[in-house]
């Protein structure tokens, strides 16, 4: 994570010189439901999707134990706990995965840890949650999370565990939405929880302040394609369950725009120049207004300018 911090310092100076920071921050997340009942949807035997907790939450298990992916917003934690208890008889899972550090995915950690859940995440997620840091596009400083809410088991690349006759595999999706993104794959059920490395209905959010960037989004999409087949169900950070064809479209969009924007930067173009040129025109019908996405992608690309040969 130290290398990412150094890149961000370089990026901030470069962008300030280019004038792009003057655009100011604006909200990047569409509103995620924080009121009303927690809805449930079956994803197969012993696998449930909960929606309405602030992010999509996947719960798996039975007599052999329970695994949950993400814990939603803090203000929905009690409601989510009630939903989990209604499904399993226990108020908390045995294992709780965090797909990133973001508070809509980790807000319930405090409550579920107090009820006995062991929290598993990428090491970078633990590092972010254990320190104070500033997120530029939100103009917000995040304080350290309480020790009990932080992951107590971390990994770097990939690993797996058994849950009865189910294999739960999990791996790093490096620098897509953040630098601590992970997927959690239920191999027998053929379901992949991808967190905010996967989006539908709008352009993805790349949190460049904590390591997300366009090249990472393309690489994460490619990884999701590699671990799946045409029958795989994908659970994004929010919204409906998706199929592999959607992941392919996200990969096509991200990889195409990565290459175009790198070429544009080598020509000295700004993010506004690229927007004026219609850099994303053929993708906008599916993904929506590209403005904040292209600006964020530009900022994130500058964090990798040495690797990309941009000067």
Q: Phi and psi (nearest 5°) for 36?
A: 85, 180
Q: How confident is the model over 223-256, as pLDDT tens digits?
A: 999 999 999 999 999 999 999 999 999 999 999 9
pLDDT for res 107: 98
C-alpha 19/C-alpha 38 separation (Å) is: 44
What is the DSSP secondary structure assignment for residue 203, as one 8-state letter? Answer: P
C-alpha 186/C-alpha 170 separation (Å) is: 9
C-alpha 23/C-alpha 1 separation (Å) is: 27
Domain residues of the chain, as ranges? Answer: 2-308
- Cβ neighbours of residue 3 under 8 Å, at least 6 residues apart? none
For residue 17, what are the CA distances in angstroms to 13, 88, 213, 258, 261?
A: 6, 55, 20, 22, 18
Domain 2-308 fold: Metallo-beta-lactamase; Chain A (3.60.15)
pLDDT for res 136: 93
| Average pLDDT score over residue span 178-201 | 97
- The yes-or-no verdict on residue 31 having pLDDT over 60 is no
For residue 146, what are the CA distances in angstroms to 32, 38, 109, 302?
A: 24, 26, 10, 33
pLDDT for res 303: 86
- Who has greater pLDDT, 11 or 101? 101
| Average pLDDT score over residue span 189-210 | 97
Q: How many CB atoms lie within 10 A of CB 19?
A: 10
pLDDT for res 207: 96
Give yes or no for a contact between 60 and 163, defined as CB atoms under 8 angstroms apart: yes
What is the DSSP secondary structure assignment for residue 200, as one 8-state letter? Answer: -
C-alpha 227/C-alpha 187 separation (Å) is: 9
- The yes-or-no verdict on residue 129 having pLDDT over 50 is yes
């Amino acid at each position: 994570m130290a290398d990412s911090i150094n890149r961000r310092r370089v990026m901030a100076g470069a962008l300030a010189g280019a004038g792009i920071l003057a655009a100011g921050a604006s909200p990047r997340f569409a509103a995620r439901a924080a009121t009303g009942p927690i809805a449930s949807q079956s994803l197969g035997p012993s696998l449930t999707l909960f929606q309405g907790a602030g992010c999509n939450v996947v719960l798996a298990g039975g007599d052999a134990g329970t695994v949950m992916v993400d814990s939603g917003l803090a203000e929905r934690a009690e409601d989510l706990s009630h939903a989990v208890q209604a499904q399993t008889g226990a108020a908390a899972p045995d294992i709780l995965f965090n797909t990133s550090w973001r508070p809509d995915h980790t807000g319930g950690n405090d409550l579920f840890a107090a009820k006995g859940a062991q929290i598993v995440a990428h090491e970078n997620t633990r590092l972010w949650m254990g320190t104070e840091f500033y997120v530029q596009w939100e103009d917000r400083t995040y304080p350290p999370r309480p020790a009990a809410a932080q992951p107590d088991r971390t990994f770097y690349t990939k690993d797996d565990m058994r849950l009865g006759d189910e294999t739960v595999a999990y791996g790093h999706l490096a620098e897509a939405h953040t630098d601590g993104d992970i997927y959690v794959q239920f191999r027998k059920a053929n379901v992949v929880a991808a967190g905010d490395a996967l989006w539908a209905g709008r352009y993805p959010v790349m949190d460049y302040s904590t390591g997300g960037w366009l090249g990472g989004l393309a690489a994460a999409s490619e990884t999701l394609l590699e671990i799946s087949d045409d029958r795989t169900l994908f659970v994004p950070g929010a919204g409906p369950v998706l199929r592999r064809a959607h992941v392919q479209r996200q990969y096509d969009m991200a990889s195409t725009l990565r290459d175009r924007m790198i070429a544009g930067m080598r020509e000295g173009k700004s993010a506004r120049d690229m927007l004026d040129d219609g850099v994303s025109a053929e993708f906008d019908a599916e993904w929506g207004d590209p403005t904040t996405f292209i600006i964020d992608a530009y900022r994130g690309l500058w964090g990798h300018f040495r690797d990309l040969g941009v000067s």
